[in-house]
Amino acid sequence: MTAATQHVPALAARAALNLPYTHVDDIFIDGAWTPAHGTGRNPVTDPATGEVWGSVPDATPEDLDAAVGSARRAFDDGEWPRLTPSERAAYLLRVAEEVEKRAEELSLTNTRENGSPVSESAGAAANAAGIFRYFATLADYLEREDVRAFPKGGGESVVRREPIGVCALIAPWNFPINLVVIKLAPALLAGCTVVIKPASPTPLSLRVIIDAVAAAGVPAGVVNLVTGSGRLGDSLVKHPAVDKVAFTGSTPVGRKIAAACGELLRPVTLELGGKSSAIVLPDADLDAMSEVLIRSSMRNTGQTCYISTRILAPASRYEDVVDMVTRTIAAGKQGDPLDPGTVFGPCATESQYKTVLEYVESGLAEGARATTGGRAAALGAGLEGGYFVEPTVFADVTPDMRISREEIFGPVICILKYDDAGGSVEEAVALANNTEFGLGGLVFGGDPEAALAVADRMDTGSVGINFFASNHAAPFGGRHDSGLGTEYGIEGLNAYLSYKSIHRRAKA
Q: How many CB atoms lie within 10 A of CB 43?
A: 12
Amino acid at residue number 52? V
**Residue 104 a catalytic site member:** no
Q: How many CB atoms lie within 10 A of CB 331?
A: 12
Q: Which of 167, 192, 305, 414 is catalytic?
A: 305
127 SS3 class? helix
Instruction: Kindly tell me the sign of the dihedral angle through the C-alpha atoms of 365, 366, 369, 374.
Output: negative
349 and 201 in contact (C-beta within 8 Å)?
A: yes
389 and 351 in contact (C-beta within 8 Å)?
A: no
**Residue 271 a catalytic site member:** yes
Q: Which residues contact 462 (CB under 8 A, 6 or more apart)?
A: 306, 439, 440, 441, 468, 470, 476
Work out the end-to-end distance of the chain between its first and last CA atoms, rounded to an integer number of angstroms: 62
Q: What is the DSSP letter of 37?
A: S
Residue 169 sits at φ, ψ, to 5 deg, of: -110, 115
Q: Which of 100, 271, 390, 407 is catalytic?
A: 271
Q: Which residues of 214-238 are buried (b: 16+ CB within 10 A; e: fewer)?
A: bebebebbbbbbbbbeeebbbbbbb
345 SS3 class? coil
Q: Which residues contact 399 (CB under 8 A, 6 or more apart)?
A: 405, 416, 431, 434
Task: Give catalytic residues, as residue numbers.
Answer: 271, 305
